[in-house]
Structure 1
Amino acid sequence: MSDIDNSQTPPNSHSLPKNKLELLRALESQLGSCFRADPVCPSPNPLIIVISGPSGVGKDAVIRKLREMRQGLHFVVTATSRPMRPGEVDGKDYFFVSKEEFLSMIEKDELLEYALVYGDYKGVPKKQIRDYMAKGYDIVLRVDIQGAKTLKRILGNSAVFVFLVAESELAMVERLIDRRTESKEELLVRIATAREEVKHVTSFDYVVVNAQGRLDDAVKLVESIINAEKAKVRQRNAVI
């Protein structure tokens, strides 16, 4: 009589044709163990994907499209003390708070990172990340270059850092002009800042070009990056 515990045999094996089932049993008997039905590799860890880049490269557009095309993502809504722009929705685009409220969040250690950008505060709330990672979601963070630098120091190689660029400096400037949200003086500041920010690309894991009229291509490339990270033997393991 075989010492094999048939209760460990994969449940669906009982619906196999008799000759195939008998062969499976014979192979198990010869090997001295049952064939396991559980996954060979564990499920991949939830990822933290940090998407950054200069102003005018289409970070918001890429993230919106990415959320439409891929399930299992949670986009962390950033808190900011800047005024709401036309068309923006509180709690969806940003959490709009006063400077006093933002300083209170800093004092209570509620932010993963924060920075003063163009005179206003921006920061990433910790609780959203913890709650959704616990549910198995991948986390997407949209931050400026300064924020990405801070996150790199905090998270190291446990997160995926994606640098988004326009196809050219001219294309980036045209997009900033088309937004019509800044004065000429403000545009000059953003353009000068962007020229410096592009120099930080080497500190990122990946670079993605978001060319005008080719949004889908940029989003598919970001998806490919996520898929490749999910298939890695040595998984990133972010702990917040």
Structure 2
Amino acid sequence: MTSEKPKIERRGLLLVLSSPSGAGKTSLSRALLDADPHIALSVSVTTRKPRPGEVDGRDYIFVDEKTFKSMAESDQLLEWATVFGNSYGTPRAPIEQAVAEGRDVLFDIDWQGTQQLSERTAGELVRVFVLPPSADALEQRLRTRAQDPAEVVAKRMAEASSEISHWAEYDYVIVNADLTESSAALRAILAAERLRRERMTGLSSFVRGLQAALT
């Protein structure tokens, strides 16, 4: 007869995915969210205009420059950065509440935002960098998206080398040649990080109870 699995309290973790645009971090994020109901996507604040199909409050919180500046100056953002002329940031309050309640949060942000999160939430942060299998594959993916004009694609390709130079600042690196394999690797990382002893705040009391029952 099997016994019910004990629930051991733990702090939530912050899982960051970064990559040059077009390497596949958004596809990996969506696959993880579909496969794992115990992690939620952090909704960033941005001054960027919505793309077709994007919904305010679900994909991003769309604000004007004045509102964004006010949030940054009043310390309402855990991190923020300007990318390709648009500002992006992470609201502080919902993230801190999620971690305290043992809920995991997924971030689709760049290296600048990751550095800021590292300074403020080092104990909760798990950093994963996603690389394309080749430069040709990256360019093809950018062109296939068909959401940006040719000049934007060229600019993103030019920026890719600089972005990739930050790969060594991350805990894990996934070369995204195959989405299925990369998704499996990402799920394995998350499973292992959830079991880190220092995150399991209820482990000591569980072990003490187990020892007491054995003596």
State the one-letter code of the partner of 1:97. V
Q: Could you tell me the TM-score, scaled by structure 1's length?
A: 0.76
Which of the residues 130, 133, 136 maps onto 2:102?
A: 136
State the one-letter code of the partner of 2:17. I
CA distance in 1 between counterparts of 2:184 and 2:97 reads 27
**Does residue 1:97 correspond to 2:63, yes or no?**
yes
User: After the TM superposition, which of the residue ranges 198-207 and 104-113 deviates more from structure 2?
Assistant: 104-113
How far off is 1:46 after superposition? 1.2
Q: Match for residue 218 of structure 1?
A: 182
Q: Could you tell me the TM-score, scaled by structure 2's length?
A: 0.84
Matches within 5 A, 1:1-240: 42-211=8-177, 214-235=178-199
**Structure 1 unmatched runs, 5+:** 1-36
Secondary structure, counterpart of 1:51 in structure 2: strand
Percent of pairs with identical residues: 35
Q: For each residue in 1:22-74, what CA deviation from the matched residue of structure 2 results, as whole angstroms up to 9, or x when unmatched?
A: xxxxxxxxxxxxxxx9x999434311111111100122211111111112112
**Structure 2 unmatched runs, 5+:** 202-215
CA distance in 1 between counterparts of 2:44 and 2:35 reads 21
CA, structure 1 residues 209+128, in 2 after alignment: closer, same or farther (shift >3 Å)? same
Contact 1:157 1:236 in 2 (8 A): no
Contact 2:47 2:88 in 1 (8 A): yes
Contact 2:12 2:199 in 1 (8 A): no
Q: Match for residue 25 of structure 1?
A: none
CA distance in 2 between counterparts of 1:156 and 1:109 reads 18
How far off is 1:226 after superposition? 1.1
Q: For each residue in 1:183-219, what CA deviation from the matched residue of structure 2 results, as whole angstroms up to 9, or x when unmatched?
A: 23222221111111111111100011222xx322212
CA distance in 2 between counterparts of 1:232 and 1:135 reads 17
How far off is 1:157 after superposition? 4.9
Q: Match for residue 205 of structure 2?
A: none
CA distance in 2 between counterparts of 1:41 and 1:180 reads 46
The Cα RMSD (Å) is 2.3
Larger radius of gyration: 1
